Amino acid sequence: MGRFDLTMVARGRTLNMPVAALTRATAVIVAVMAALGAGRAVAAEPVYDPPVGSRWVVVSEIRGEETRPDGSTTSVVRTRAELTVDEKTADGFRISWVQRGATVEGNARNLSLRRAYAGVLENVVIRASTDSAGKPLRIDNLDEARVAMRRSADGLAAQFAEMPSARGLFDQLISELTEVDAAGAASAYVDALAVLAVAHNTGMKPGEFRWTSKPAENPLGGDALISNERFELTEADAAGRLTFVSVTSIDAASRSDFMQSFAKSLLAASGDSVTPARIDLLVKSMVFSFDKRAEFEVEDGMTRKVSEKSTTVFRGMEQNLIQTEARTIAVTRAP
């Protein structure tokens, strides 16, 4: 049997290598790669298990920008809260959450209203039960928290005494905030904990990713949309430090359904005939997109930092809008 040669290119030179030699070389390369991989030991994912009695400082910042043809507006909302792990239960934890500071800056519309609303939770003690990953399930002292928030709101409302429209909107917001049930209040009062819990107890390995579809708030208002999220464990080391990346976009079919419904309502409001041809023409003239990327940095089983950025784009009906929002959440051990 004759000897077969294979041609390879190395550093610009063409080499003829016998099959046997190529096999030996491949085996060496595989062995080296395996040795290098073995040298990068990866620890098992640490379980979320903060010590009972431990105290944590959670600092959040949301930077928003809205750009239209006539200019742009910006806002920066910063909050500082204290998280205390009060008790470990059979299926999770009981925690206390207190907002200790909130500032709102920028030139966005209704800035004074947003500043007042952000201050309603100031120094209000929220006691909540969470699952084993730290996701809040319900507020345990809901009646007590409602009373404290209404008292806070009464003091803040005085600044709108000569602005009846702003006062009406403020009262509406407070009503919505204080009339949610115990489960809804968990996401309204301690939403940062729900975001942090996303990267806890995932059971994932490096390079593994998951696809999920779930309802998402419509940035343009109206019925909820369906979002598709790709969640991946991108980095892990022997010390138990993990990095997760989440990428979210609106489901194409959901976006199409919304655009069709939106076009129908616009045509009806303008008095034009609502026909399939007119609807399709209007939909094709509009652009709507929403994309979000978030990165989670986890140490010892607890998310220590979240960096998130979302972008919403809408063009059509003589409107041109771009909204961006950058959110960070940082968690540190209280001194």
Would you say 66 and 322 are in contact if contact means Cβ atoms under 8 Å apart? Answer: yes
Give the per-residue pLDDT at 42. 62
267 has a pLDDT exceeding 90: no
Tell me the pLDDT tens digit for each residue of 291-306: 999 999 999 999 999 9
Tokens of 276: 């399939």
* pLDDT of 272 strictly over 90: no
What pLDDT shows up at residue 264?
85
How does the average pLDDT of the chain come out, rounded?
Answer: 86
Strand locations in the chain (E)? 5-10, 13-18, 55-68, 71-88, 92-106, 125-131, 136-139, 209-216, 225-236, 242-250, 287-299, 302-316, 319-333
Q: Give tens-digit pLDDT for 241-265.
A: 999 999 999 999 999 988 888 888 8
pLDDT in tens, 122-161: 999 999 999 999 999 999 999 999 999 999 999 999 999 9
What pTM was estimated for this model as a whole? 0.82
